[in-house]
Amino acid sequence: MSAPIAHLDLADFTAGDPARRAGFVARLMEGLKRYGFFTLSGHGVDTALLDASYARSAAFFALPEAEKRRYAGALRGYTPFGVEHAKDHDAPDLKEFWQIGHDDGPDGPAEHPNVWPDAPEGFRDTFTALFGRLFGAGRQVLRAVAEGLALETEYFEPRVRGGTSLLRLLHYPPVPEGADPRCVRAAAHEDINLITLLVAAEGPGLELLDRDGRWLPVTGARGHLIVDSGDMMARLTNGVIPATTHRVVNPAGPNVSRYSMPFFLQPRSDVVLECPPSCLHAGPPPPPVTAGEFLNQRLREIGLPAA
């Protein structure tokens, strides 16, 4: 049984009348509280860009290992197969990935410079465009979240502008023969960030853990985004919007590659994750912490370099 997560059209929020806008906010909040996931259309990421992104992602990961490792060693660029692991799970995930952050822009210099490969052709232009479209859609989702939390609509805007958001290009190769049986493509975890916008993957395997303790497959139609809430959002909202545990399981059918492109929307490092008054009803809040401190603690826990 697939997870019966809600489907929303972002145009209801960005271009709808007051009733449609209010309905979008209500369904978004219900979806995040019940399953932690929903699917999204009307997000402005066109299918031609998605097709080009998957083609260039696959072309990069098909390069020789030595070529890919030229760009390894930092949070931006390439992370080789078997490096990252889930928090409190020492067996490595069966994946490799490339990460892209903000470039320098009108809001100032990026916190960390991007790394760009020499090949394939068009890689930088394609993923710069995809990063911008996903960041734009994510900012609109956060405006709706802010309204759902009885905050100013622009509450998140200055906090995420020029922040540490990351676009991750993921490749799960065919599971190697003789792999440690504890290893899966992505072990059970919660995302670190505020929200994740996931381009519907090329291949099944994503599952969420619902509030009743059941693992349910998550699917999205081609061209839809899958959105979920992360640990920073749970910390900020005092658990009003929880982070949802999810995983990517090994293939039950043909042992083939799986490609995925999550966008992790995160604040600037100096932003304090502190419970707003509208979320104090949920109980004693956790102590304030900067997004940078929180992020780096979690990165250490999963085997990645600090931001």
Predicted confidence (pLDDT) per residue in 61-79, tens digit: 999 999 999 999 888 999 9
Let me know if residue 278 belongs to a domain. Answer: yes
Out of 132-141, 195-204, 242-251, pick the least confident.
195-204
How many structural domains is the chain composed of?
1
Identify whether 189 is part of a domain. Answer: yes
Angle, alpha carbons 103-169-64 (nearest 5°): 105
Query: Quick check: 307 and 268 in contact, CB under 8 A?
Result: no
How high is the mean pLDDT of the chain?
90
The strand ranges marked E within 149-211 are 166-172, 186-189, 195-202, 206-209
Host domain of residue 77? 6-301
Q: Which two tokens stand for residue 277?
A: 């008054």
In the chain, % helix, strand, coil (3-state, to 5) comes to 30, 20, 50
pLDDT confidence bin for 300, thresholds 50/70/90: confident
**What CATH number should be reported for the domain holding residue 105?**
2.60.120.330
Helix (H, G, I), strand (E, B) or coil at 60: helix
| 198: confidence class by pLDDT, cuts 50, 70, 90 | very high
**Spatial separation of the C-alpha atoms in residues 171 and 280, rounded to whole Å:** 40
- Find where tokens 């999204």 sit: 40
The whole-angstrom separation of Cα 209 and Cα 59 is 33
- Name the 3-class secondary structure at 21: helix
* Domain assignment of residue 307, yes or no: no
Q: Is the peptide bond before 181 cis (omega within 30 degrees of 0)?
A: no
Neighbour-count burial of 44, counting CB atoms closer than 10 A to its CB (0-12 exposed, 13-18 middle, 19+ buried): middle
The answer to whether position 306 is within a domain reads no
Q: Is residue 85 part of a domain?
A: yes
Contact 72, 79 (CB under 8 A): yes
Q: Determine the average pLDDT of the residues in 43-57.
A: 93
Residue where the block lists tokens 């066109």: 46
Residue 1 lies in a domain: no
The pLDDT value recorded for residue 306 is: 76
The answer to whether 291 touches 273, Cβ cutoff 8 Å, is yes
